[in-house]
Amino acid sequence: MNKPSLPSHAEIVIIGGGVMGASTAYHLAKRGIRDVVLLEREEFFGQGSTGRCAGGIRHQFSTGINIELSLKSLAMLQNFQQETGQAIDIKLCGYLFLLSTPAEMAQFEQNVALQNSHGVMSEIWTNGQIAERVPLLNLDGIIGGSYYGGDGIADPSGVVNGYIAAARERGAKAFNGVTVTDIDTQAGAISMVHTNLGSIQTSTVVNAAGPWSAQIAALVDVDLPVNSERQQILVTTPMPTIPADFPFIIDFHQRLYFHREGAGLLTGMSIVGEAPTYEQTINADWTMQHMDKAMERLPIMETAGKLTEWAGLYEVTPDAHPIIGPIAEVKGFYAVTGFSGHGFMHGPIAGLLVSEQILGGAAHTIDITSLRAERFVEGQLIKEFNVV
Ligand X SMILES: Cc1cc2nc3c(=O)[nH]c(=O)nc-3n(C[C@H](O)[C@H](O)[C@H](O)COP(=O)(O)OP(=O)(O)OC[C@H]3O[C@@H](n4cnc5c(N)ncnc54)[C@H](O)[C@@H]3O)c2cc1C
Identify which range of 60-68, 92-100, 144-152, 207-215 contacts ligand X by CB under 6 A. Answer: 207-215
326 near ligand X, judged by CB under 6 A = no
Smaller CB separation from ligand X, 99 or 336: 336
b (16+ CB within 10 A) / e for 48-78? bbbbbbbbbbbbbbbbebbbbbbbbbbebbb
Identify which range of 121-129, 210-218, 351-359, 375-383 contacts ligand X by CB under 6 A. Answer: 210-218
Q: Are 293 and 138 in contact (CB under 8 A)?
A: no
How many CA atoms within 13 Å lie on the side-chain side of 298? 27
Pick from 24, 86, 161, 231 the residue near ligand X by CB under 6 A. 231
Smaller CB separation from ligand X, 108 or 175: 175
Site residues (CB under 6 A) for ligand X, limited to 115-144: none
30 near ligand X, judged by CB under 6 A = no
How far apart (Å, rounded) are the C-alpha atoms in residues 259 and 243? Answer: 11
Smaller CB separation from ligand X, 233 or 327: 233
DSSP string spanning 117-131? HTT---EEE-HHHHH
Smaller CB separation from ligand X, 126 or 308: 308
258 near ligand X, judged by CB under 6 A = no
* CB of residue 91 to ligand X, shortest distance in Å: 13
Identify which range of 3-11, 99-107, 209-217, 324-332 contacts ligand X by CB under 6 A. Answer: 209-217
Pick from 6, 166, 180, 349 the residue near ligand X by CB under 6 A. 180
18 near ligand X, judged by CB under 6 A = yes
Smaller CB separation from ligand X, 33 or 183: 183
* CB of residue 209 to ligand X, shortest distance in Å: 4
Question: At a CB cut-off of 8 Å and minimum separation 6, what does 365 contact?
Answer: 72, 349, 352, 353, 356
* CB of residue 298 to ligand X, shortest distance in Å: 18
Q: Is 308 helix (H, G, I), strand (E, B) or coil?
A: strand
Pick from 265, 339, 368, 386 the residue near ligand X by CB under 6 A. 339
Q: Which x/- pattern, by CB under 6 A, does the window 283-322 give for ligand X? A: -----------------------------xxxx-------
How many CA atoms within 13 Å lie on the side-chain side of 33? 22
Smaller CB separation from ligand X, 129 or 270: 270
Which letter does DSSP use for residue 273 in this model?
S
Separation in Å, CA 237 to CA 91, 264, 266, 310: 20, 5, 10, 15
Pick from 42, 83, 109, 184 the residue near ligand X by CB under 6 A. 42
Question: At a CB cut-off of 8 Å and minimum separation 6, what does 209 contact?
Answer: 15, 16, 180, 215, 216, 337
Q: Is 307 helix (H, G, I), strand (E, B) or coil?
A: strand
Amino acid at 27: H
Site residues (CB under 6 A) for ligand X, limited to 48-87: 48-50, 52-56
224 near ligand X, judged by CB under 6 A = no
Pick from 337, 355, 357, 386 the residue near ligand X by CB under 6 A. 337
Q: Are 33 and 354 in contact (CB under 8 A)?
A: no
Residue count, binding to ligand X (CB under 6 A)? 41
355 near ligand X, judged by CB under 6 A = no
How far apart (Å, rounded) are the C-alpha atoms in residues 74 and 152? Answer: 10
Separation in Å, CA 216 to CA 183, 187, 203, 207, 333: 8, 19, 16, 7, 11
Binding site residues, ligand X, CB under 6 A: 15-21, 39-42, 47-50, 52-56, 179-180, 208-212, 231, 233, 268, 312-315, 337, 339, 341-345
